[in-house]
Structure formats: C-alpha cells, structure tokens
Amino acid sequence: KAGVTQTPRYLIKTRGQQVTLSCSPISGHRSVSWYQQTPGQGLQFLFEYFSETQRNKGNFPGRFSGRQFSNSRSEMNVSTLELGDSALYLCASSSGQAPMSGYTFGSGTRLTVV
Amino acid sequence: DQQVKQNSPSLSVQEGRISILNCDYTNSMFDYFLWYKKYPAEGPTFLISISSIKDKNEDGRFTVFLNKSAKHLSLHIVPSQPGDSAVYFCAAESGGSNYKLTFGKGTLLTVNP
C-alpha cells in the first residue's frame, strides 16, 4: 500500500514569490491535513480537508491556503513568501474517522525562502 | 500558549533499559493522545494512542499511561533499542469535529549500545 506522497521534496523560493505544494494521500483516505514544522514553533496545524471541504483551520495568515480535489489529492499554496515561511511542510492523511488510528504523514516538503 | 508540553528536550538511555518520555497538557478538552516518532528527513510515524477514558494502552514494547487529573501522559519503551533513537512527539486532539493535532515540541531520545 503506497504511503502519503508529497512533492516536491525540496524547494527554494525568493521572498515575495508564491509556492504550491502537493500531497497525495493513501488510497481510500479522504482526509488530508497540513502541518508546518519549524525549529522554534515545532509542528503547527495549518488546515484539514475532507471530501473537498475544509473542516478546520489553524492560526496562520491568509497567505496560506489549500484545497482538495475530488480524488482526495490536496495542494497548499503560500503567496507573498516571507523568510519566516522557511520550514518543513508535512501532509498527513487519514480515513477521516476516529483519531485513535493515527494520521499517516508524508516525508514533507522542505521549503527554503531566500 | 503551548497546550502540549514536553519539558525534556533530550533523553539518553542505555540499550535494554527503560525509556520514559513525558508530556503535559493544559487543555481539558483533549480526548485523544498520540505518540509519534520522527527520524531526520522523514515524516512523523504513528506509534501508539490512548483515549481519555483509559489510563493505559500497550502495544509490544510501547506503553502509554494517562493521568487525567494531573493532565500528564508518558510513553514507556521497554527494552530500549538503538533503533529507537529518534525525536518523539506527543500530540493531542479534542475529538468531535476537531480534526486537528496539537503537538509538543518533541524529545530527542538517544539509546546507547
């Protein structure tokens, strides 16, 4: 069973640009969540989608947005990049039911803003 | 406001001994607690979870204990193996319609041969 696939693995962007990251969940999983990991703040929740609907959103500025497609694949977009957006962006998928079975994370996209 | 806290940034133990990783939380609305392990350049890997209606859950070498009155949980690894060396994250979710994990900042566990 294929895991959660995130592309690209590494990305370097210039301040002010925008970026789109992609996540393909485990087959059959309809929930996709996004997290940002930085050394200072740790892992922080960005948003969660289920069947193309955003069900929850974290405390991030409006420059951070996402969407989910009918095949459950998800993208997140960051516009007007700032140096502080440099981070590891992690996507997680689940069946969308109880949290006890855990969420399966991808290997992440390392974004560097210069 | 950090709702999930892992106060020990690092822990070092000898192979074969017990590793105890601790986690405290402040939000009494949390219903589920999960532990993840993370190696460098990889995403977190789910280890074990516990519901707030239980005080213990066991899976092989891993046991999680929950003390609701103290808002404290711990992960016990017995026996510890060098391959267990990684960063361990405690996470919590409110359940219901939340769909959001709140993570601690992690504890780096080093198991020495």
Domains delineated in chain B: 4-112 (2.60.40.10)
- Tens-digit pLDDT profile for residues B30-83: 999 999 999 988 899 999 999 999 999 999 999 999 999 999 999 999 999 999
Mean pLDDT per block of 10 residues along chain A (114 residues) reads: 90 98 95 93 93 93 97 97 97 78 91 97
- Could you tell me which chain B residue has the CA closest to the CA of A6? B43
Closest alpha carbon within chain A to B87: A42
In angstroms, rounded to a whole number, what is the distance separating the alpha carbons of residues B90 and B104? 5
Separation of alpha carbons A26 and A4, rounded Å: 5
Chain B positions with Cβ closer than 8 Å to A: 32, 34, 36, 41-46, 49, 51, 89, 91, 93, 95, 97-106
Residue position matching structure tokens 């808002």 = B71
State the count of interchain CB pairs (< 8 A) between A and B.
Answer: 64
Among A96, A100, A107, select the one facing B49 at the smallest CB separation: A100
Question: Considering only CB atoms, which chain A residues are within 8 Å of B105?
Answer: 42
Cβ of B49 within 8 Å of Cβ of A31? The answer is no
Confidence category of residue B98, pLDDT binned at 50, 70, 90 = confident
DSSP-derived pairing of the beta strands B107-112 and B86-93: antiparallel
- Scored b (16 or more CB within 10 A) or e, B27-44 reads eeebbbbbbbbbeeeebb
Please name the residue of chain A whose CA is at the shortest distance from the CA of residue B107.
A42
DSSP letter at B86?
Answer: E
Closest residue of chain B to A43, computed from CA coordinates: B103
| Residue B91 to chain A, least CA–CA distance (Å) | 10
CB contact under 8 A, A48 and B99: yes
pLDDT > 90: percent of chain B: 88
Query: Taking residues B12-23, what's their average pLDDT?
Result: 98
Find where tokens 């007007």 sit: A80
Structure tokens at B55: 């005080």
Q: Which residue of A95, A103, A104 is the best one to mutate when testing the B interface, meaning the one whose CB has the most B CBs within 10 A? A: A103
